[in-house]
Amino acid sequence: MPARTQDLAPLKFTLPAPHSLLVGFSGGLDSTVLLHLLASDATARRQGLRAIHVHHGLHPEADQWAAHCQRMCDALSVPLTLTRVQVDCRSGLGLEAAARAARHAAFAAAMTTDDILVLAHHQDDQAETFLLRALRGSGAEGLAAMRDWRAFAHGWLWRPLLDFPRRQLQALAQREGLHWIDDPSNANSGFARNFLRNQVLPMLHERWPHATAAFARSAALCTDAAQLLHAEDSKALTEVAVDTRTLRVAGLLQLTPSRRARVLRHWIATLQLPPLPGNGVARIESDLLSARRDANPRFEWNDACVQRWRDLLHADHIQPSLALDFSQAWDGRQALELPNGDSLRLIGVDGFDTPVRVHARQGGERIVLPKRIHSHALKHVLQAAGMPSWQRQRLPLLSAGSTLLAAGDSVVSAQLHAWLRLYGAQLQWTQLA
């Protein structure tokens, strides 16, 4: 039975006043229906409804598609942003994923604070995503597939059509006399999603007519399960965390292996680091959590690393150390920007009486601490001060001739300490975040 327009009435709820809507408009059936419905909503118009078309340049008719979208938006009096992107076909992601990454980057760049990006994914898309992720062996989070609401860029991403099958959208489009683009690449079953759409799902529908709705329902149940798991992961992470980037090894080892694996992945996600690779948890378990307390092992992947120091795990992007040959004179009058992105500042005084030398650690340095007579090996001082290995790797030293004055801003010699107290000054080492 053809869908009635009021079947799609959930689109017409009242939106929070500060939010404006940015519709991802490809010109295809789905986004054409979405834009038509929103353009018919007075509230959406009052709140600044606009559209964006991403020109990928991958099809000979891409220019004509962009012109079609412009005509459609002009007819609806909806402002359109046309954005051309370069799809990185050599990224290793595959053409579909690379185009999606370029498209989402364009969407994010077009959004302002608290904008809502509205995309036209529907129930059939949800079923396809569920199947694709199941074939990859995804867990509950992956099988939850697409969410109707989630944070995105500077605002939010909303998928208001997820509960509706494509046939309902097509029935509405035909009844309203809408015109849309048929992308011929959708018929190419060489793409995984198209293979499911064109061959697998039609066969399943012959035997199970409600297969699409069932897959979407399973995705919704996985969403519920994922939310419960996420809440428990967040609670466990809080209990073992020293700070956002540092966890207690002892606390992690008290968790069950399955919970520990989830907490580690959740931790990495909260830091917005690249997802752990497939062997990531196993490597952290074997190389870091099982390491001796006096070892300093680390696991690296995709410009990120987790490293252990004593009873702590620390995660961050791989931070550059100071080059061993770095050495520069500094008078303290202005901040000194170091080659690895860190900086040194002298606060509360115009500058040093005579310039000092800022340089990297070479090994074997010794320093005379306040209230001490004899010098101590800097290595032992740093260990006693509890400075983690990831900070020591980038530590700038200050020297006057052969005399070590400071290591960063937390280890200061007796000589420099007295001078800073005399002038009420302070040395500040700021590390690149």
pLDDT digits (tens, 9 = 90+) for 6-53: 455 444 445 556 678 999 999 999 999 999 999 998 888 888 899 999
The per-residue pLDDT for 3 is: 38
Residues of 94-110 as b/e, b for ≥16 C-beta within 10 angstroms? Answer: ebeebbeebbbebbeeb
- pLDDT tens digit string along 67-114? 999 999 999 999 999 999 888 776 666 777 788 888 999 999 999 888
- pLDDT tens digit string along 373-429? 899 999 999 888 888 877 888 899 999 999 999 999 999 999 999 999 999 999 999
Q: Calculate the alpha carbon distances from 409 to 160, 186, 224, 250, 344 in Å.
A: 53, 60, 48, 30, 9
pTM of model > 0.85: no
Residues of 400-424 as b/e, b for ≥16 C-beta within 10 angstroms? Answer: beeebbbbbbebbbbbbbebbeeee
Sequence-distant (≥ 6) Cβ neighbours of residue 290 within 8 angstroms: none
The per-residue pLDDT for 59 is: 79
**Sign (positive/negative) of CA torsion 251, 254, 259, 261?**
positive
For tokens 């500042």, what's the residue? 345
* Burial class for 298, CB neighbours closer than 10 Å (0-12, 13-18, 19+): middle
- Cα–Cα distance between 236 and 422 in angstroms, integer? 48
**pLDDT, average across residues 266-270:** 94
Residue 288 contacts residue 281 (beta carbons within 8 Å): no
* Burial class for 193, CB neighbours closer than 10 Å (0-12, 13-18, 19+): middle
Sequence-distant (≥ 6) Cβ neighbours of residue 165 within 8 angstroms: 122, 123, 124, 212, 213
